[in-house]
C-alpha cells in the first residue's frame, strides 16, 4: 500500500473542505505545505443551493447566481412583514458553480492533491495521523474531517429536529413573480401540526424556486412534498400553467449535539460534522467562510486549532430554541412569527450571524413565548 506524507489532510470535498482548501491555496503561508483532499465523488452535479446574507460586497460575489435587496415573511393569517434589510443583501450560490470554481483553482497548485477515495479510518500515532483509504495509507500532521459521527445523529440527550425540504424551479409563460423580493417564510399553507413553511426565490418575472420546508422529526415522501408545492403554486401564487425545470431536496440535521467535543489541537471536525451549520436555522455558507478564516488564523499564529472556533453562549441559545421545536413542534410557526414581528430583519440576521451583544440578545429573547423558553431552560439545564 502506498504511503504518502502531508501537512494537512481534508476529509471531504464539499462546502467546508473546499473552502478550507481554497483558503490554503490563496495564502502564501501555505505555499510549501502538502495538502490532500479525500473525496470519493467527482463533484460534478448541482446537488444543492446555498443562500446567505451579508452587507456590501463579499468574498463570493463572483459566484452569486442571484441576489435580493428586499424580503418578506407571511403569517398563517396572511399578515405580511416586509423585511427592513438595512444594507443586508440576500445572496444565492449554486453548488456546481462553487465546485467548478474551487476545482479549477486548486488544480493549479502542485502541492494540493485530490484523491478520489473515501476515508475508511483515522488513527493518531504520536504527532501524526494515519489515514486509511481503500487503496492508500496517508500520514498527516493535521486533519480536518467532515464525516459525521454516528453518535451525533443517534444521541437523544440533545434536542434536535431535521430541516427537510423539496423545491421546484418553475417557469411560467407570463410574468408571475416580483423578481426583486424573496419570500423567507410563508406559513399560510400548513401540514397538520408540523412546523413548516414555503420559501420562494424569484429569479425573474417568469422563473422561481418554490420550496416547501419542514423543521420537525418525520421525513415526508416525495409525493407529499410535490402535492404541497403544487397546492401552494395554485392557491397562493395563482399560477395554473408552468413548467418544472429542475428539482432539489435535502435533509439538514439541526442538532444541539456538541460536535466540537471531538476536536483536538490538531484534529478538527468541519462542516455539518463540526457543528458549522447554524443549528437553529440550517444556514452554513457564510458561517463556513468565517470558521475557515479562524482556522487559518490559528494555524498561522501557531495556536491550538480550537481557539475561538466556537462561541459558547450561542450554543446555549440554539439549544433552547431547538428544545422548543423538539418538544412543541406545533408552536414552531408561532415562535418564528414572533421573532419577525417584533425584531428588525437586520437584528435577526446579526443574531443568527452571532454578531449581537448581550443587551440585544435579551431584547430578542423577550419577544419569544416566555413560558415555552422558561420550560426549555428548566429542562435543558436544571
Whether residue 265 is found in the same domain as residue 140: yes
The verdict on 322 and 337 lying in the same domain is yes
Q: Is residue 65 part of a domain?
A: no
Indicate whether 74 belongs to any domain: no
Query: Is 330 found in the same domain as 296?
Result: no
Q: Are residues 112 and 9 in the same domain?
A: yes
Same-domain pairing of 132 and 232 = no
Per the structure, the complete domain to which residue 361 belongs is given by: 312-381
Distances from the Cα of 153 to the Cα of 207, 272, 358, 359, angstroms: 36, 11, 31, 34
Quick check: is 109 in a domain?
yes
Do residues 108 and 142 both lie within one domain?
yes
Q: Tell me, yes or no, whether 165 and 127 share the same domain.
A: no
Whether residues 122 and 202 share a domain: the answer is no
Residues 6+ apart with CB under 8 A from 116: 39, 40, 41, 42
Residues 246 and 260 in one domain: no
143 and 192: one domain?
no
- Residue 181 in any domain: the answer is yes
CATH of the domain at 267: 3.50.50.60
Residue with cell 418564528: 336
In a domain? residue 85: no
pLDDT at position 3, please? Answer: 57
Residue 291 backbone phi and psi in degrees, to 5:
-65, -40
Please tell me the distance from the alpha carbon of residue 24 to that of residue 232, in angstroms, as a whole number: 45
d(C-alpha 330, C-alpha 170), whole Å: 30
The answer to whether position 68 is within a domain reads no
Specify if 84 maps to a domain: no
**19 plus 117 within the same structural domain:** yes
Other CB atoms within 10 A of residue 348 CB: 21
Domain boundary (300, 333, 368) is at 300
Tally of structural domains, the chain: 3
Which residues are bridge partners to 244 per DSSP? 170
**What's the pLDDT tens digit per position in 326-381?**
999 999 999 999 999 999 999 999 999 999 999 999 999 888 888 888 888 888 88
Record the pTM: 0.94
Which of 269, 300, 331 is the endpoint of a domain? 300
Q: What are phi and psi of 348, to 5 degrees?
A: -65, -45
In a domain, 170, yes or no: yes
Of all helices (H) and strands (E), which one includes residue 254?
Answer: strand 243-255
Low-confidence ranges of the chain (pLDDT < 50): 1
Closest CA to 122 of 24, 298, 268, 275: 268
CATH number, residue 207 = 3.30.9.10
Q: Are 142 and 276 contained in the same domain?
A: yes
Give the Å distances, CA to CA, from 99 to 35, 176, 276, 355: 18, 32, 19, 29
Amino acid at each position: 500500500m502506498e504511503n504518502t506524507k502531508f501537512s494537512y489532510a481534508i476529509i471531504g470535498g464539499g462546502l467546508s473542505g473546499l473552502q478550507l482548501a481554497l483558503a490554503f491555496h490563496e495564502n502564501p503561508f501555505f505555499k510549501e505545505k502538502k495538502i490532500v483532499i479525500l473525496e470519493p465523488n467527482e463533484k460534478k452535479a448541482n446537488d444543492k443551493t446555498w443562500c446567505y446574507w451579508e452587507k456590501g460586497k463579499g468574498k463570493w460575489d463572483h459566484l452569486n447566481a442571484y441576489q435580493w435587496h428586499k424580503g418578506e415573511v407571511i403569517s398563517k393569517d396572511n399578515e405580511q412583514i416586509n423585511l427592513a434589510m438595512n444594507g443586508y443583501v440576500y445572496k444565492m450560490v449554486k453548488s456546481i458553480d462553487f465546485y467548478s470554481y474551487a476545482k479549477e483553482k486548486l488544480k493549479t497548485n502542485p502541492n494540493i492533491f485530490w484523491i478520489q477515495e473515501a476515508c475508511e479510518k483515522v488513527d493518531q500515532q504520536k504527532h501524526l495521523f494515519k489515514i486509511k483509504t481503500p487503496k492508500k495509507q496517508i500520514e498527516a500532521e493535521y486533519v480536518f474531517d467532515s464525516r459525521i459521527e454516528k453518535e451525533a445523529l443517534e444521541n437523544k440527550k440533545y434536542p434536535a429536529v431535521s430541516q427537510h425540504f423539496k423545491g421546484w424551479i418553475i417557469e411560467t409563460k407570463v410574468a408571475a413573480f416580483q423578481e426583486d423580493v424573496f419570500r423567507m417564510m410563508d406559513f399560510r399553507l400548513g401540514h397538520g401540526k408540523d412546523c413548516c413553511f414555503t420559501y420562494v426565490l424569484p429569479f425573474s418575472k417568469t422563473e422561481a424556486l418554490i420550496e416547501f420546508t419542514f423543521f420537525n422529526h418525520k421525513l415526508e415522501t416525495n409525493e407529499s412534498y410535490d402535492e404541497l408545492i403544487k397546492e401552494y403554486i395554485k392557491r397562493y401564487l395563482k399560477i395554473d400553467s408552468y413548467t418544472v425545470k429542475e428539482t432539489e431536496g435535502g435533509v439538514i440535521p439541526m442538532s444541539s449535539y456538541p460536535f466540537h467535543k471531538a476536536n483536538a489541537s490538531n484534529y478538527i471536525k468541519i462542516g455539518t460534522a463540526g457543528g458549522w451549520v447554524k443549528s437553529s436555522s440550517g444556514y452554513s455558507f457564510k458561517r463556513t467562510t468565517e470558521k475557515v478564516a479562524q482556522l487559518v488564523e490559528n494555524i498561522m499564529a501557531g495556536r491550538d486549532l480550537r481557539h475561538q472556533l466556537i462561541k459558547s453562549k450561542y450554543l446555549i441559545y440554539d439549544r433552547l430554541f431547538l428544545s422548543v421545536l423538539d418538544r412543541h413542534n406545533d408552536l414552531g410557526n408561532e415562535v418564528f412569527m414572533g421573532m419577525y414581528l417584533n425584531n428588525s430583519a437586520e437584528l435577526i440576521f446579526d443574531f443568527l450571524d452571532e454578531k449581537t451583544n448581550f443587551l440585544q440578545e435579551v431584547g430578542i429573547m423577550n419577544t419569544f413565548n416566555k413560558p415555552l423558553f422558561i420550560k426549555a431552560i428548566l429542562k435543558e439545564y436544571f
